[in-house]
Amino acid sequence: MRQVSEQEVLRVDGARKSFRTPESGVVTPLDGITLSIRNNEFLTLLGPSGCGKTTLLKTIAGFEELDEGEIFLEGRAMSAVPAHRRPFNTVFQNYALFPHMTVAGNVGYGLQVAGVKRAEETARVTDVLRLVGLSGLERRKPAQLSGGQQQRVALARALINRPRVLLLDESLSALDRKLRQSMQIELKNLQNTVGITFIFVTHDQEEALTMSDRIAVMDKGRILQLGTPAEIYDTPKNRFVAGFIGTSNIFSGTLAKDGGTSRVDIEGGPAIAVTADGFASGDKVDVMLRPEHFALASGRTGAGGSLDAVIENIVFVGTDLHLHGRLANGLPVVALERHARGAGALSLAPGQTVTLHYQATAPHLMKSQAA
Amino acid sequence: MAERSTISSQRRKALFVLLTPITLLLGAFFLIPLGIMVVYSFLEPGLYGGVVWSFYPYNYGRIFGWPLGGGEEFEPLYIQIILNSLYYAALTVIVTLVVCYPVAFWVSRMGPLAKNIVLFAITLPFFANLLVRIYAWLLLLRPTGAVNTALLSLGIIDQPLNMIFTEFAVIVGLVYVLTPFMFLPIYASVERLDWSLVQASQDLGATPFQTFRRVILPLTAPGIAGGCVIVFIPALGNFIVPSFLGGSKVQMTGNVIERQFLQARNWPFGSTLAMIVMASVLLLVLAYTLWMRRAANNERLAGAGHV
Amino acid sequence: MSKRRFSSGWTALHIYGAAFLIFLYAPLALITVYSFNSNALNMAVWTGFTFDWYRTLFGMQPAGAAFDAAFTENPDRIFGVLRNSLIVALSASAISTVIGTATALATARYDFVGKRIYQALLFMPMIMPDIVLGIALLIFFVGVGFKLSLATIIIGHCTFLSSYVYIIVAARLAGMDNTLEVASADLGAGPVTTFRRVTLPLIMPGVIGGFLLAFIISLDDVVITYFIAGVDTQTLPLFILAMVRRGIRPQINALAVLLIMFSFVVASAGLYFRSRRN
C-alpha cells in the first residue's frame, strides 16, 4: 500500500525558461518555479493552457532544458542528465505508442533497451499488462486498440521500468467523459498498488480535485498556490485560483472592521458579513462565496448574513438546481440548491426575488489582486 | 553551468553529423561549380578550348550587342534562338496545362482503387528512359514512321506528311516528356478542392462557367502555377528533344550550349548562354516564390480556417 | 436536366482521360511491337514475329535466315555499358539515400540557424536545368583536374539525387509523430538506439522508396552524364544515344524495351514503398 511521506523525492528550484516565438514575442512558460514533491504523492499541476505546466513536466522529464534553476532527484542535480538516463517515465498526451511494434513490444521496449534478459522481460510484461487489465492483447498492434486500451498500454509501458517518478501529460484528455471518469479512479487505485510518485498535468480542475494528494495551481509560469484539494477549494489564495477551481461568486470590496464584527462593502452594493483574521480595516479585498454556501431557507441558526437577488435563470442538472441571478447593483450571483423531489425550490421562477442566506464562516477573504 | 549544455551540445553534435555530408556535397559539387561557371562567362576564350584569365564582357556582347569585333561579332541569331527557346517552353507549358487540367478532374472524381491505378499509370512513364521516350516519337513522326504509314495506307494522304524536324515535333516531344510534371501539382490542388464550395457557388446561382472562373480556377491556381514553373524550367534548357526531333532546323539554347562545349570548345561563351538560361530560371522561381508567399499571407490575413 | 448534362460531361471526360492514357502509352507500345517485328527494312510494316533483335543485341546469332552477322552487336561492349550503368546507379543512389536521409532528419527534427537556406538550397539542384548543372560540373571537374570517369558521374548524380531522396524522406518524417522519439528517450533509449529501433523502421518505406526512385533516375540520366562522362566511359543511355545517332536500327527497339521494363519494375517498387503506410 502506498505511503505518502514528508520525505522529498524531487525538487524544482528556481526554474526559469523563456523563448521567443514569431507569433507572440517572448514567452515565459516558467517564471521562477520552486516546488518540492513528496515521496509517493499524487501531485497535479493544474492551470489553463499556456500556464507552463506542460513545460515544467517536460523539463523534469529532460525533453527541454531550463534557462535557470535546477531539478534535484533526491538531492542529485538533473540538468546534466539526458532524458534517457533519468529514472522518470512519461505517459504522453497522445500516448506516443510505437505503431510498428505490438503491445508487448511497446511495453517491453524500456526493458529491451536496458538490456534486461528475454525471460525476465516476458514475465514483467505479462505482470504489468495484467496490472492494467490488458492480458491477452500482447500481440495486437496499437492501431487495433481502442482509445482506452491505448491509454493502458501507455501506462504499462511507463510503469514497467519502475520509474522513481511517473509523469502524466494531460493523459486522460483524449478520452471521452465517461471513460475519463472511470480511468481517474483506476489511475488512483493503480498508484496505490504500485506506490510511485505521480506528477499529473491537467487543465481540468475536476480531474485534479478527484485524484490529487496535492495540487499546484499555475498561471503565467508561476505557481499561485500549492495545497491539498480541500485547501485549494476552500481557501484559495486569490481571485484566479478561486475562479479556476469550481464555481464561485467573487466580489471586490473594502474591508470594514467595526468592533467584533467585520464586513466587506461591495462597491455600489450590499455588504457581506465576514470573519477577517489577518486583514486590516480599509484593505481592498476579494470575497468568495461558493454557490453551495447559499441557502434559500432562512431558518438557520448562528451568525451570518444574506443577499437579495433577482433570479434570471434556473438550470436543472439533476442533483442540483443552479440559480443564476443578479444583486441589486447588477452583479451576477450563482447559488446552488440541492434538488429534493417535490420540494419547493422547483416552484421558483425567473423574475422572482429571493434571499440567499450564508453562514458567517462561509465567506472567504483574499487579498485583492488589483492592489 | 557548464554541464547544463549537455543536451544542446549533443544536439549540436548530431546536427553536425547530419548536415556535414549535404553541406560538402552541395558546396563542393553544386555551388562551387555554378560559381566557376559564372566566372567563366566573364573570361576570354583561349585557343583550343582554354580560357584567358582576364575580365571579358564580350561573351555577353556577342549576344546582346557590344561585341569585341575581329571574329567575335554581334550575332542576332543568338537572341533569336533564346527567344525561340522561351517561346517553345511557354508553348509547352500552355499545351501541357490544357492537356492535364481536365485529366486532373477526371482522376479526382474516381473511386479510390481506380484513382490509385490511374495515378500510378500516369506517373510511371516518367520513369521510362528519356531517350527512349523521345526515340519513340522519332519512330512515330518520321516520313516512314507509324503515323505516316497509317495515314498513307488508309488513303487519307498520298504524300508523307513532313512532321519530323519541325517545331511541331519539338513541341510534341517536350509535351510528352514533361506531362507528368504538369499533371501532378495540378492534380494535388484539384484533389484538395472542396467540392462543397462548387455546390455553394451553383446554389448561389452561378453558371458553370462563372463557377469555374470565380471558384474552381482561383482555388486550383497554386497547382497550375507550380506545374507551369516545373514544366517551363526543363523545357527551356532542353537539348535532347530538339536534337532528336528538331534536327538542324529547330534549335534551342541547349543545343547551342552543347555545341559550344563539345564541338566549338568555347567554354566561356557556352557558360554565358548557360548563365542566361539559369538567370531566366531563377527569376521565374523567385517570382513564383514571392507570388506563393503573397497568396499565403492573404489567406492568413483573411483568417480562412478551412483546410 | 442538369443531371443529364453532368453525366454527358462525365462521359466526355472519360473519353478524354482514356485518350490521355493512350497518348502516354502508345509510343511505348509502338516500340515494343517494333522490337518483335522481323521487318529489318521498314519497322512500320509487320512481316512477322522475331526475337532476333534481342538475340543480336547480346551477340547471339539471329535465328531468322534473312539476317547476316553484320547486325550482331559486340556483347562485351553492351555488358560493359550495363556494368557501368549499374555501378553508377547503385553507388549514386546509395550515397544519396544516406545523405538525403541525414539531411531530412536534420531539418525535420532540429531547429537551427540557416534551416530555410538549407531547404531552399536542396531545391536548387532539382530546379536547375540539367544542361546547366552538366556543364558547370564539366568545367569544375576539368578545372580542378578530376579525370572524367565513373567517379565523376557518381558525384554528379549525387548532387541532384540527394534532393529527391531528401524530399521523399522529409515527407515521411513530417507524417511521423515526433513524440515517438521523445517517448523512446523517455523509456531509456539513447539517440542511436532510438534511431535504430523507432525512427528508422518508421521512415524505412520512404528511405527504400527514395533509394529505388533515385536508382532509376540515375540509371536513366542522359544530360548530366553526357557532359561529365569521359570519352571512354559509357552508360546505357549514352550507348543508346550513340546508337540512335548512328542510325535507327531494330536492335535499339529491343534495348529500349528492356530498359523500359526494368525502369517500370524498379519505379513501381519505389512508388509502392513511398506511398506505403505502416
| Domain CATH number, residue A353 | 2.40.50.140
B137 CB neighbours in chain C (<8 A) are 27
pLDDT at C2 over 50: no
Q: Contact at 8 Å (CB) between A68 and C169?
A: no
Q: Is C97 helix (H, G, I), strand (E, B) or coil?
A: helix
- Pairwise CA distance, residues B267 & B39, whole Å: 11
Nearest to B8 among A62, A65, A81 (CB): A65
Amino acid at B233: I
Pairwise CB contact (< 8 Å): A98 & C189: no
> To probe the interface with A, which of B1, B7, B9 has the most A CB atoms within 10 Å?
B7
Contact A243, A291 (CB under 8 A): no
According to the model, what pLDDT value does residue C201 have?
A: 94
B206 vs C contacts (CB less than 8 Å): none
pLDDT at B2: 40
Are both B145 and B88 inside the same structural domain? yes
Mean of per-residue pLDDT scores for chain A:
88
The yes-or-no verdict on residue C67 having pLDDT over 60 is no
Question: What is the C-alpha to C-alpha distance for residues B181 and B100, in angstroms, rounded to an integer?
Answer: 10
pLDDT of A47 > 80? The answer is: yes
Quick one: average pLDDT of B208-230? 91
Residue C256 and residue C240 in contact, taking contact as beta carbons nearer than 8 Å: yes
CA dist C92 and C215 (Å) reads: 7
pLDDT of residue A341: 67
For A99, which residue in chain C has the nearest alpha carbon? Answer: C278
Q: Does residue B208 belong to any structural domain of this protein? A: no
Shared-domain flag, residues B304 and B239: no
Q: Please indicate, yes or no, whether residues A125 and A104 belong to a single structural domain of this protein.
A: yes
Residue A346, pLDDT score: 60
Contact B141, B163 (CB under 8 A): yes
The answer to whether residue B209 is domain-embedded is: no
Burial of C68 (0-12, 13-18, 19+ CB in 10 A): exposed
CA A332 from centroid of its chain's CA atoms: 26
Q: How confident is the model at residue B6 (pLDDT cuts 50, 70, 90)?
A: low
The confidence band for B68, taking pLDDT boundaries of 50, 70 and 90, is confident
Q: What is the pLDDT of residue C7?
A: 67
What pLDDT is stored for residue A15 in this prediction? 94
Burial class, A234, CB count within 10 angstroms (exposed 0-12 / middle 13-18 / buried 19+):
middle
Domain count, chain B: 2
Residue of C nearest to A161 (CA): C187
pLDDT in tens, A306-357: 888 999 998 888 888 888 999 888 889 999 888 776 655 567 788 888 888 8
Query: CB count, 10 Å around CB of A171?
Result: 26
pLDDT-wise least confident of A236-250, B187-201, C61-75, C185-199: C61-75
Q: Are residues A324 and A230 in the same domain?
A: no
Residue A371: CB atoms within 10 A of its CB come to 8
Sheet of A320-327: strand order equals: A332-338, A320-327, A304-316, A353-359
Task: Mark whether A168 and A124 lie in a shared domain.
Answer: yes
Q: What is the ipTM of this complex?
A: 0.89
Model confidence at C64, pLDDT cuts 50, 70, 90, reads: low
pLDDT of the residue at A128: 94
C-beta neighbour count of C127 within 10 angstroms: 18
Asked if residue B284 and residue B249 are part of one domain, the reply reads no
Q: CA A314 → CA A84, A309, A325, B227, B240, distances in Å?
A: 54, 13, 9, 61, 82
Could you tell me if C94 and B221 are in contact, meaning their C-beta atoms sit under 8 angstroms apart? no
pLDDT higher than threshold 50 for residue B305: no
Predicted local distance difference test score (pLDDT) of residue C27 = 94
CA-nearest residue of chain A to B2? A80
C197 touches chain A (CB under 8 A): yes
The mean per-residue pLDDT over the stretch B288-299 comes to 85
With b for 16 or more beta-carbon neighbours within 10 A and e for fewer, the C73-87 pattern comes to: beeeebeebeebbee
Q: Report the predicted TM-score, pTM, of the whole model to 2 decimal places.
A: 0.84
Same domain? For B158 and B251 the reply is: yes
Average of per-residue pLDDT values in chain B? 88
Q: B-contacting residues of C 89-108, CB under 8 Å?
A: 98-100, 102-103, 105-106
Give the domain extent around B45.
Answer: 38-74+269-307
Cα–Cα distance, B181 to B286 (Å, whole number): 19
Q: Is A271 helix (H, G, I), strand (E, B) or coil?
A: strand
Query: Is the CB of residue C223 less than 8 Å away from at least one CB of chain B?
Result: yes
Nearest CA in chain A to B10: A82
- Of A337-351, B27-41, B188-202, which gets the smallest average pLDDT? A337-351
Interface contact flag, C99 B22, Cβ < 8 Å = yes
Q: Return the residue in A79, A84, A86 with the most chain B beta carbons within 10 A, the one to mutate for interface testing.
A: A79
Domain that holds residue A69: 8-242
In chain A, residues with a C-beta closer than 8 Å to the C-beta of C194 are: 84
Mean pLDDT throughout A58-66?
91
Q: How far apart are CA B21 and CA C104, in angstroms?
A: 12
For the record, the C-alpha cell of C257 comes out as 524495351
CA angle C171/C172/C173 to nearest 5° reads: 90
Round to whole Å and give the CA distance between A210 and B54.
Answer: 83
Identify whether residues B143 and B247 lie together within a single domain.
yes
- pLDDT category at A263 given cuts 50, 70, 90 is confident
Provide mean pLDDT across the span C247-255.
87
Cβ neighbors of B26 (< 8 A, separation 6 or more) are C121, C122, C124, C125, C159, C162
pLDDT at B24: 97
**Chain C residues whose beta carbon lies within 8 Å of the beta carbon of residue B118:** 17, 21
Using a pLDDT cut of 70, give the percent of chain C over it: 93
On chain C, the residues whose CB falls within 8 A of the CB of A110 are: 187-189
Q: Is residue A1 part of a domain?
A: no
Question: Which among C177, C190, C202 has CB closest to A94?
Answer: C177
Q: Are residues B175 and B50 in the same domain?
A: no
Looking at chain A, which residue has its C-alpha nearest residue C201?
Answer: A100
B304 pLDDT above the threshold of 50: no
Contact (Cβ atoms closer than 8 angstroms) between residue B59 and residue B73: no
